[in-house]
Amino acid sequence: MRVVIAEDGLIVREGIAGMLRHFGHEVVAAVGDAPALLAAVAAHRPDVVVTDVRMPPGYGDEGLQAAIALRAADPDLPVLVLSQYVEQTYAAELLDSGRSAGVGYLLKDRIGDVAEFVDALERVAAGRTVVDPEVVRQLLGRRRDPLGRLTPREREVLGLMAEGRSNTAIARTLVVSEAAVAKHIGSLLAKLDLPPDGDDHRRVRAVLAYLRG
């Protein structure tokens, strides 16, 4: 994969770059602010972008705005946004941007789980949606009534779906068969009045849209 990294902290930026190289990916640009990110993406046409939310010059949410702008310009560009604070608001704005290409929103801490982080980035690059478990936890905490009808197992499955996991990954995480996962998913989608959908990405969107109310 050809990756563009935007992150203002030098140690973290170089760390991510080193880590991705370690896994055999090509870091075509590693920049420290939002304008440089936009320029680097225009110049290198990367397979995936990793960006921090908060960057110079304003130290606000320039990274997020840049990600949204990039996806508005090229709806198929996969973008993974990292944030020190995972907030539903930011996640919602990001998930609403672009068309169907991969999009990810993760807490910055997740970088520490190197293998998982690289896996998440690869999933985003492959066009999937990745949502931080923390966001999903917040979303699940918000709507209780219809969710109360779900069994504990179904809630677990719903959470993992909302994070953007595939059936295979969910089965592996919960140590159950894929058939069992498919059964739980069918059951919980029916309880929540969501249409069954084979497409993972559309399914994640539907679940997130539901959770966001």
Partner 1 sequence: MPVRNALEALTMRPMRFLLSSWPWRSLAYLAGGALIGFATILATVALLAAGVVLSVLVIGVAGYLATVLSGVAVGRLERRRMRLVDRDALPDPHRHPGAPGLRAWLTCRLREQATWRELGYTMISALVLCWMDAAVVYAAVVVPGSLLFAPIYLYGETTLSVTVPMALLTPFALAVGAYPVTAWAGARAAMARALLAPRSDDSDAKLVELSRSRARLVDAFEVERRRIERDLHDGAQQRLVALSMQLGLARLELSDGSPAAVQVAAAQQLAKETLAELRELIRGVHPKVLTDRGLAAAVGDAAGHAPVPVDLDLRLVGRLPDPVEMTAYFVVVEALANVAKHSGASRAAVSAGMRAGRLVLDVRDDGRGGADPGRGTGLTGLADRVAAIDGTVALSSPPGGPTLLHVELPCGS
Would you call 91 helix, strand, or coil by DSSP? helix
- For residue 8, give the DSSP letter: S
Which of 144, 135, 43 minimizes the C-alpha distance to 81? 135
Q: Does residue 173 bind partner 1 (CB under 8 A)?
A: no
Q: Which of 28, 97, 138, 194 binds partner 1 (CB under 8 A)?
A: 138
CB 73 within 8 A of CB 31: no
Q: Does residue 146 bind partner 1 (CB under 8 A)?
A: no
Nearer to partner 1, 22 or 99 (CB): 22
Q: Which of 21, 26, 42, 59 binds partner 1 (CB under 8 A)?
A: 59
Which of 124, 146, 130 minimizes the C-alpha distance to 210? 146
To partner 1, the closest distance from the beta carbon of 135 in angstroms equals 8
Q: Does residue 57 bind partner 1 (CB under 8 A)?
A: no
- Where on the phi/psi map is residue 191: left (φ > 0), alpha (ψ -120 to 50), or beta? alpha
Orientation of helix 178-191 relative to helix 152-162, angle to 10°: 90
Residue 92 identity: A
Query: What's the CA gap between 191 and 188, in Å, rounded?
Result: 5
Q: Does residue 97 bind partner 1 (CB under 8 A)?
A: no
Which of positions 153-172 make contact with partner 1 (CB under 8 A)? none
Q: Give the Å distances, CA to CA, from 118 to 12, 101, 159, 196.
A: 15, 18, 21, 29
Which of positions 71-90 make contact with partner 1 (CB under 8 A)? 84-85, 87-90
Nearer to partner 1, 109 or 178 (CB): 109
Query: What's the CA gap between 40 and 30, in Å, rounded?
Result: 8
Q: Which of 99, 113, 186, 199 binds partner 1 (CB under 8 A)?
A: 113
Q: Which of 115, 152, 193, 198 binds partner 1 (CB under 8 A)?
A: 115
Part in contact with partner 1 (CB under 8 A); list of ranges 27-35, 70-78, 113-121, 181-189: 113-121
Q: Does residue 15 bind partner 1 (CB under 8 A)?
A: yes
Nearer to partner 1, 15 or 127 (CB): 15
Which residues contact partner 1 by CB under 8 A?
9, 11-12, 15-16, 18-19, 22, 54, 59-61, 84-85, 87-90, 108-109, 111-115, 117, 138-139, 141-144
